[in-house]
Chain A
């Protein structure tokens, strides 16, 4: 009674999983392409991403069965068995992430945690005014429209200052941040490759299950 409907009804991710997934996608794309490194918007978007990640991790503890960590433990042994299945051309339905996918999920989460952690360590709290440059939002309470304009004009100068901050803890954090972000891009590429591979192997359901309304 518990198992048969699980096997016959295709997997669908719940709305929290979908929203956090696509929210993180939007935040990563936004901070990679649209916002300027170290800018107020970059920090805001980063905090938003951290919040979504935190919610998804909470959901991993209290969510429905297939969203919980217990449904996809990080197990190299299972991943190896799964690779064996792929080699033999067997297709089994997984209630949650497949074992290889699970490893990818944990790798992406860990990388996101490093990215958010180093980002927050560098930026401090989110600036009240996202137009403000990092470190300048201390005077934010007095920020008027004119001042905002001024700060925006200072952007270029700010960048030079950043590259000047070569030494010290800040730049180490910045380096870790950058390395982790580059690792994240690699993982995202692998994730997409995995989705494409699995779609060709076992059908479009895997993509449909994360899409809105799917």
Chain B
């Protein structure tokens, strides 16, 4: 889950970098082109050739500004997504902690329950906590009993059910 989020972020960063590189190259090209066009004006005065060059120079400069504006939109969107995600993450964390408190989980049980929510099985939790698998299994069944569920999937569903509010127009 976290990995997939990171991949999306990396893909978005790459996209932003591509736009940025384009804008930078365009800016450099525009400056050379404008300087060259001015040189031509100095050499030959205003001719049709110069008029067309002027048009191209204008298009290049407009491209730079529009590219930069597009870049800003991309960055603002990425930032907004990051922010809403971090707010949701914080809210989920607070909610989970509150439920654990309500159920009266001990500190060790809370740790085990958190790993269970993140999708670890008893053996993995035991390895991560450096505890015996039997101990973790006992703690897990304590957690399930206190939460009033019978499986890890049911424990997870409790929180999904609490927090998931499907947007009304998402299906249409």
Contacts and interface: CB of A to CB of B under 8 A. Distances in A.
B28 interface: yes
B70 to A, nearest CB: 11
Contacts of B36: 125-126, 128
B17 A15 contact: yes
B75 A14 contact: yes
A55 B38 contact: no
B72 A62 contact: yes
B153 interface: no
Interface string B14-50: 0011011101100110111001101100000000000
Interface string A50-63: 11101100110011
Given A9-B82, A16-B71, A59-B68, A51 B20 contact: no
Contacts of B38: 125
A23 interface: yes
Interface string A92-125: 0000000000000000000000000000100011
A59 B76 CA distance: 14
B35 A62 contact: no
A51 B27 contact: yes
A9 B24 CA distance: 27
B87 A9 contact: no
Contacts of A9: 82, 86
Contacts, number: 78
B65 interface: yes
B132 interface: no
Given A9-B86, A126-B35, A64 B27 contact: no
Contact of A50 (B17, B31, B76): B31
A23 B24 CA distance: 9
A50 B35 CA distance: 11
B83 interface: yes
A120 B23 CA distance: 23
Interface of B: 13, 16-17, 19-21, 23-24, 27-28, 30-32, 35-36, 38-39, 64-65, 68-69, 71-72, 75-76, 79, 82-83, 86-87
Given A14-B20, A213-B13, 15 more contacts: A5-B82, A9-B86, A15-B21, A16-B68, A20-B24, A23-B24, A47-B35, A51-B27, A58-B64, A62-B69, A62-B72, A64-B72, A64-B76, A64-B79, A125-B36
Interface of A: 1, 5, 8-9, 14-16, 18-20, 23, 47-48, 50-52, 54-55, 58-59, 62-64, 120, 124-126, 128, 213
